[in-house]
Amino acid sequence: MVLVSSIAPAPPALFGVADAGHYGCMSDEEPASDRSTPEVSPSVRAQLLATEHWSLLASRSTTQGEVLTRISMFLYLVSAGLVSLALAGQATDFDEGFPGIALTLLGIILLVGVLTQVRVISVALEDLTYVLAMNRLRGAYAELDPGISRYFMASRFDDMPGSQTTYYFLGARNWSQVLGSSMVFIMAVNSALLGLLLAGITLAISWPPWLCVAVAVLGGLGFMIGSMNLGYTRYLDLWRHHTPLYPSPARDDGRPGAAGSAD
């Protein structure tokens, strides 16, 4: 009788045999450094880039939704706090206990506002990184199909001029867009809250009214200027750590040009 094991082909060893390469295993005669990387077809490369693009879009949308919810919650708290102060003032006839209630409530609201402001600034920088990443993907699309560049409204250059073009397709991004942003809006609200808190503290310690107003105004303006300077410093720090893969073409004067979709 013939044994089954004598006629069945023996499975190759996992390591150290010549046939291991047919099963996706390395052999001792073929180091990993000698194997060539298979060439990826343009269609597969486009699918991989599109997958990354959709992932970035989803992450950007989620981040924007989260920070808008935080801003809405903060504004609801500010509104509720001011209404509560009015009701507490009517209930106590603005006696000696009202300043303590007002200062405590304003301090809590300002703390929440500062935390919200920190998150808004972080999200603004995160959004910039998403824009730069998607600009870089458009640059890769243009490498696969150079003729597609003229259809892009957003930029395909992952540098500062490219990000500004993506944020505003029809021209250079100016200061009106920055001043109207959610970040500056939150800074202005927090500056007003700090001014009210300083005015309440100085009035509680019986300072002259004109000095209370001066301290409140200067404190609010100082907070606003300091917050904007901090945001701008973090913005510049991001660019110091970023190396563009697709820089904008230089203009005649040597500076980076308009980062549009022109070839």
Task: Give residue-wise pLDDT tens across range 127-165.
Answer: 999 999 999 999 999 999 989 999 999 999 999 999 999
Tell me which residue has tokens 């920190």. Answer: 118
Domain that holds residue 212: 42-240
Residue 19 lies in a domain: no
Residue 76 lies in a domain: yes
Phi-psi region of 104 (alpha: psi -120 to 50; beta: other; left: phi over 0): alpha
Residue 64 lies in a domain: yes
- For residue 221, the tally of other CB atoms under 10 A from its CB is 13
Residue 164 lies in a domain: yes
Q: What's the start-to-end Cα distance of the chain, in Å?
A: 77
What CA–CA distance (Å, rounded) separates 115 from 104? 17
SS (HEC) of 96-146: CCHHHHHHHHHHHHHHHHHHHHHHHHHHHHHHHHHHHHHHHHHHHHHHHCH
| pLDDT over threshold 60, residue 259 | no
Kindly state the average pLDDT of the residues 200-215: 93
Residue 13 lies in a domain: no
| pLDDT over threshold 80, residue 219 | yes
Residue 125: Cβ-neighbour burial (10 angstroms; 0-12, 13-18, 19+): middle
For residue range 25-62, list pLDDT tens digits in order: 444 444 544 555 567 788 899 999 999 999 999 999 99
Residue 119 lies in a domain: yes
Residues 141 and 42 sit within 8 Å (Cβ to Cβ): no
Instruction: State percent of the chain over pLDDT 90.
Output: 63
Residue 6 lies in a domain: no
When pLDDT is cut at 50, 70 and 90, the band that residue 261 belongs to is very low
For residue range 63-106, list pLDDT tens digits in order: 999 999 999 999 999 999 999 999 998 888 888 888 889 999 99
Residue 102: Cβ-neighbour burial (10 angstroms; 0-12, 13-18, 19+): buried
> Helix or strand or coil: residue 28?
coil
What CA–CA distance (Å, rounded) separates 249 from 14? 53
Note the pLDDT of residue 35.
53
Instruction: State how many domains the chain has.
Output: 1
| pLDDT over threshold 50, residue 18 | no
Residue 49 lies in a domain: yes
